[in-house]
Amino acid sequence: MATPANEINANAGDEHPPADGKKRRIENKTTAASASQDVVPPEPITAEGKMPKKRFYRQRAHCNPLSHNDAFSYPRDGPGAMDWTAEHYPSLATLRGEDARSVRPTVLDVGCGFGGLTVALSALLPDETILGMEIRAKVTEYVRLRISALRSDPSSSAGEYQNASVMRTNSMKYLPFLFSRASVKKIFFCFPDPHFKRKNHPRRIVATRLLTEYAHVLPTGGRLYAITDVRVLHEWHVAHCDAHPSFERIGEGELAEDPCVAAMVDSTEEGKKVARGGHPKYYCVYRRISTEESLRRGDATAESFWNSDTFALGSVANKDEAEDVEADRNNKKE
């Protein structure tokens, strides 16, 4: 068990190593003179403006987004009260010659991880405002320092990466509090947690209720991107997005002209790891259609909205339940 930092090592003066053969950390004894001095805060792991090292910011990949252990701030008076220039894009309004109140994110990288796609989209879409959204504190700090270092890099052109930022938040809970209706053009979900267990399926980032929130912040023609290396999760994405009345899938021919698809496939750290392992990647892209178009197609009406099969999810749920029952039977036989 490690010795606490504020505990004096009673064996500091021992000339012989401990019997167990392990190295013992020796703490300096606190004197009256040093105790009276002001405590100097420790040096940060990464100085502001320097590129962080990923090994100091690794954090457990799996996280429960439905937990109430963490609290996140959001504007009490709605998305219009959010000042994005104060912390995220301090120079962007001046560079674009816009009013500070008009600066807001237009492209979201939900679950951005270590920020590979966020940074790539910043260069790929210089006229858009990119926001990476991450729930893990240490990973968020890594991305913030990474963007800060890129902005300060002498080799970067003037204004480069000023349109990118990162925010620690829980997208499953706070998205409508941060973004107004039809204010976001693109949303990316790259290699999200599969949450394999059936009881954890409500934690998946693509679900019927959440798709309705995504449809709220996307304008007509806005795009939703999802990629994973887990085939069953890809099938889940397709089944839920196909069934939702606000989205239609975009064909491969049209996607060939979208540079964001290649960035999504190749730019994320997780995507690079999958490529090194030689594993396949599965992705889909959906377009937000207008409410009028959805009603014209008859996918959902006021009368049928609450029916269990309106979004064609009854068959999906039944299939999952049947698979669980079959698995239980096999386990009992064994």
How far apart CA 52 and CA 25 sit, in angstroms, is 27
For residue 88, what is the enclosing H or E element? none
Helices (H), the chain: 32-36, 92-96, 116-124, 137-152, 171-178, 208-217, 231-243, 252-255, 259-266, 269-276, 291-297, 314-333
CB neighbour class for 28 (10 Å; exposed up to 12, middle 13-18, buried from 19): exposed
Question: What are 302's two structure tokens?
Answer: 């006021």
Cα gap 280→68, rounded to integer Å: 35
Among residues 154, 179, 153, 3, which one has the least CA distance to residue 80?
Answer: 179
Q: Is 193 a catalytic residue?
A: yes
Q: What separation in angstroms does the CA of 121 have from each of 100, 118, 186, 261, 262? A: 22, 5, 11, 11, 11
Q: Coil, helix or strand for 159? A: coil
Quote the distance between the C-alpha of residue 104 and its chain's center: 18
Question: Rg for the chain (alpha carbons), in Å?
Answer: 25
Measured in residues, the chain has a length of 334
Q: CA-CA distances (angstroms) from residue 184 to 175, 189, 259, 324?
A: 11, 14, 18, 38
Tokens 């039977």 belong to residue? 329
The two tokens of residue 229 are 């290396």
Q: Are 189 and 110 in contact (CB under 8 A)?
A: yes
Structure tokens of 134? 């991450």
| Catalytic position from the list 109, 193, 229, 299 | 193
Residues involved in catalysis: 193
